[in-house]
Structure 1
Amino acid sequence: MKFINNPEKYNRWYLSQYGSWVGQLEFSLLSQLIPAVKNDSLLDVGSGSGYFSRKFADYGLNVTGIDPAPAMIDFANSQNSDIHYIIGNALELPFNKNEFDYSSAITSLCFIDKYQAALAEMWRVSKKGMVLGLLNRNSLLYWQKADTGSYKGSRWDTHRD
């Protein structure tokens, strides 16, 4: 599992003009995949800096974020005190079966070696479903960032994966 330990730099990308546009577009697509009603619960696995956790909370969901990197959790907590963030491992989620209505993993599975086990854990804790945002080897972002910065060493999936 790869940690990103510079949350300010990671989050700064979403504040740029291009990053803001991409983030809004991604969230617009992802939110269409969750037929959630206000106050449904969501576990954001690999919540990182909390960007998508905050978006889901603004969408009306009760969000819990989990990430293995303490620096990311500290940063996320500094951005929104209404979201509960914890340090934890996607392979051993410290929650009961069906504890959340939904779970999400947005560009986080690529940093988990045993992503199938993480998916099984997400399914275990979700009552209604999951939403995934995957990095694609055939995307423009891959060609721009593939083995650089925080994406160095990550796995980029193909449609066969």
Structure 2
Amino acid sequence: MQVAGPDGSPAPLRWVGGDLRCLPFRDRTFDRVFSVAALCFVDDEQEAVREIVRVTRRRFAIGWLNRDSLLYRQKGVKGGIGSYRGARWRRPEELPGLFDGLPVGTLELRSCVALPKGDV
């Protein structure tokens, strides 16, 4: 989806550098925030979750690497390989604790199955 500018034309994309533990945006800046596996590489994961909640006005989705997954068995064991080296893999039951004390109305945990190499 392309964001529209004031005149209806596509708005230029702008990248903003920052630290996930201290985002450079005001409270409730974004209607939706989406993060995939970024928190698996952040030292203070709970602070990063707090920041995502802080800058989100309506809904957020955060994807973690699942320690109970086939992908973990293939790419995560013994410290990980390739782009998974050093990643933190979580079990689903660990995730609710990262939201303790945060103003989150409803927390839904969902999982998906991704087969390594896409084989069926």
TM-score, scaled relative to structure 2 = 0.64
- Cα distance, 1:160 vs structure 2: 2.1
State which of 81, 87, 90 in structure 2 corresponds to 1:157: 90
Give me the whole-angstrom Cα distance separating, in 2, the residues matched to 1:107 and 1:84: 22
Q: Which residue of 2 aligns with 1:119?
A: 49
| Unaligned stretches of 5+ residues in structure 1 | 1-59, 63-80
- Report % sequence identity: 37
Give me the whole-angstrom Cα distance separating, in 2, the residues matched to 1:61 and 1:144: 35
- Cα distance, 1:84 vs structure 2: 2.0
State which of 44, 59, 67 in structure 2 corresponds to 1:129: 59
Equivalent residue of 1:95, what SS?
A: coil
Q: Which residue of 2 aligns with 1:49?
A: none
**Structure with max Cα Rg:** 2
Q: Which residue of 2 aligns with 1:88?
A: 18
Equivalent residue of 2:91, what SS?
A: coil
Q: Which residue of 2 aligns with 1:100?
A: 30
CA-based RMSD of the aligned residues comes to 1.7
Q: 1:131 to 1:61 in 2, by over 3 A?
A: farther
Name the structure where helix makes up a greater proportion of residues.
1
| Unaligned stretches of 5+ residues in structure 2 | 4-10, 95-120
**1:140 aligns to 2:70 (yes or no):** yes
Could you tell me which amino acid in structure 1 is paired with residue 86 of structure 2? G
Runs of at least 4 residues off by over 3 Å:
none
- Cα distance, 1:110 vs structure 2: 0.5
Name the structure where strand makes up a greater proportion of residues.
1
Q: Which residue of 2 aligns with 1:22?
A: none
Q: Which residue of 2 aligns with 1:36?
A: none
Equivalent residue of 1:87, what SS?
A: coil
Equivalent residue of 2:28, what SS?
A: coil
